[in-house]
Structure formats: C-alpha cells, structure tokens
Structure 1
Amino acid sequence: MKGVVFTEFMELVETRMGLDMLDRIITEANLPNDGAYTAVGTYDHAELVRLVQALSNASGLSVPQLIHLFGEHLFQRFSLQYKALFADSRTAFDFLARIDDVIHVEVRKLYPDAELPTLPCERPTPDSLVMLYSSPRGFGDLAEGLIAGCIKHFGEDIKVTRVDLPKEGALHRVRFELVKQA
C-alpha cells in the first residue's frame, strides 16, 4: 500500500484527535518502522489495519466507522492535491465512472507499483450507478467512505446501498448501488 495512505491517516488522527492519540496508536500498533512512513514508499497494508485497530481501541469507535471516516477524509485530501483529476467531472457519477479507466491510470503514472482495487461501473439508468469493488484487501469500508466523500464533494443527494458479496478466491467484493434522489 502506498505511503500516502499512511501519511494521510496519521494526518487525520493528529488533526481530529491530537498528537497524543497518534503517538498512542503508533506505540500500540507495534509497527516495524515505529510509524515512520513516506508518501512515496510502499508498505504492508496490515500495518494500516493495526493502526486502525489501535485507534478503535483508544477511541471506542468501531473499525468500520474509522475506515469509512478515513475514506471521506482521503477523498477530500485527494480533491485538493490532485485537482487535475477532477477537471472533467461535473457530478459524482461522472467522477466515479472514471475511476478504473482514467483515475487509476493516472495514479499508476505517479505510483507504478500501486496495487489498486478494480471498480468497474455500470449505468443502468441516468439516475443510477452500480460499482463493483474488488480487491485482495478487504477495504470495502474505505471504498464506501471514498464514495461518500465524492458525493459530499459534488454536493449531491445520492443514496448508497452496499451489498457485501462472497469472496471470489482471494478477492473481497462489494457492490455499491447509487441512486440520485429527487
């Protein structure tokens, strides 16, 4: 997993819960590098899971709640740091439909070794979008948080329904159905 994800998680914790909380979870997570991450480095995603679990233990919030919150934060940060990726999108559906074919292509240019989930989309109707998250990492909560962050970014009223699907081999799969509300 790219280090930018780790550095943004630590930024979220420090900003919302304080430096003492960040130090506490780094200590509890017992990380091999003592929490020293660079944005361009690549790290084991299990380390992020340990950080989130430690934050859950310390804050009383559930792991899914924290990962969802992080997804929203991450989307907001990406929208500020990578404005060019948003230039051709006027709606959440425009942006989300471009993730696999455009956004992830650009991410791979920046980070050639990035291991990204697949997120193919279908547009069954003009007011609906179906996304299928598939990844060897079980970060459906992160994907859901990123989707929520996208909807907030574009200021739309969209209902999201999540369906956790059975694993397919080593792949975790989640179906997201998004419907624009009247």
Structure 2
Amino acid sequence: MKGIIFTEFLDIVEEAFGLDICQEMLDKAEDEGIYTAVGSYDHRALVKLIITLSKITNVPAEQLQEIYGEAVFLRLLKTLPAMDPPHQDTFSFIRSVEDHIHTEVKKLYPDATPPQFDFITQTSTKMIMDYKSARCMSHVCLGLIKGCAKHFSQELKVSMEPMNKSQSHVRFNLSLIAE
C-alpha cells in the first residue's frame, strides 16, 4: 500500500483525536509511525493501527475506516493531475478512478495493487459497482464515495452488500437523491 495512505491516516487521526491519542495508538500498535508518502508498506500495518485506534476510542473499526475515507478524499484529489475535461459529478469521477487513476498508479508504481472496480450498471441517477480488493477495506471505499459526493455537492444513498465472507468483494448500490 502506498505510503500516502499511511501519512494521511496519521494526520487525520491527529487532527480528529489529538496528538496524545495518535501517539497512544502508535505505542499500543508497536508502530514507529515512520512512513513516507512515496514508500510502500504492508496494508496490515494500517489495519493494526485502525483496530488499535478503535480500542482506544471505542469507535467501531468500520466507522473509523469510513471517516478516514471521507476525510482523505480531498487530500488524495489534490495529488492527482488535472483531468481534461474536469469531472462534473460523482459518477463520472468514480468511473475515472478505475478507468484512469488506477491505470496511472500502476504505471507509476508497478508494484501497486489498487482495488478493482467493476461497473455493473449505471443510469443518470443510479450506479451499481463491485469493489474487489484483497485488503478488504470496503468501508474506506464507502468513505471515499461519500467524500466524492460531498465534493461534487451531491447527496447519495449508498448501500453495501458483501459478496463473500471476507468482504474482499463488495457490491455498492449508489442512488443520487434529487434535491
């Protein structure tokens, strides 16, 4: 997993819970917290940090993942090159993640293994897509989707349906809520 995910996670934890909680999380997880944005790290270290933070804060790990995903969306968006034409809505941006962004990430970092999105169906108001990742972090994906919708000032109803026990394959049903 690319280091930017770790560095942003630590920044968000510090902002949301304070430096003392962030340090307690690192200490209890026996993690030195030394990450670089361009480095590559085992995703299990992030999972361990999330579980440790959950124990400290009594916030469920899935909820922490979702909060993190939503908070990190704009930070990750700023690292992307400008799109031409720029995206105008949530659905077109989500499609570009698989069609463009993940492709570019693999070119820049051949060892990267980003999640895979399979698009089942889409209309102007609904999208059904499958998330597939051995990292089983679909709640981070849910948060990213919510962060994306917020960025485009769109309100979404989102449901998740695990397609297997490990949740390495999850189906997302997205519906735009008319204003």
Q: 1:88 is matched with which residue?
A: 86
**Structure 1 residue 172 and structure 2 residue 172: aligned?**
no
Q: 2:16 is matched with which residue?
A: 16
Deviations 1:116-151 (A, max 9, x none): 110122434221111100011110111111111111
Runs of 5+ consecutive residues of structure 1 not aligned to the other structure: none
TM-score, normalising length: structure 2: 0.92
CA distance in 2, matches of 1:125, 1:73: 27
How is 1:31-42 mapped onto 2 (pairs within 5 angstroms)? 31=31, 34-42=32-40
SS in 2 for 1:160: strand
Q: 1:149 is matched with which residue?
A: 147
* Cα shift at 1:87: 5.2
RMSD: 1.7
| Residues 157/46 of structure 1: CA separation in 2 closer, same or farther (3 Å cut) | same
Q: 2:77 is matched with which residue?
A: 79
Provide runs of 4+ in structure 1 moved above 3 Å.
Answer: none
More off after superposition, 106-115 vs 49-58: 106-115
TM-score, normalising length: structure 1: 0.91
CA contact (8 A) 2:4 2:37 kept: yes
| Residues 110/86 of structure 1: CA separation in 2 closer, same or farther (3 Å cut) | farther
* Cα shift at 1:110: 3.3
CA distance in 2, matches of 1:97, 1:115: 18
SS in 1 for 2:11: helix
Deviations 1:25-62 (A, max 9, x none): 0000013xx11111111111111011111111111111
Identity %, equivalent residues: 39
More off after superposition, 147-156 vs 98-107: 98-107
CA contact (8 A) 2:146 2:156 kept: no
CA contact (8 A) 1:86 1:95 kept: no
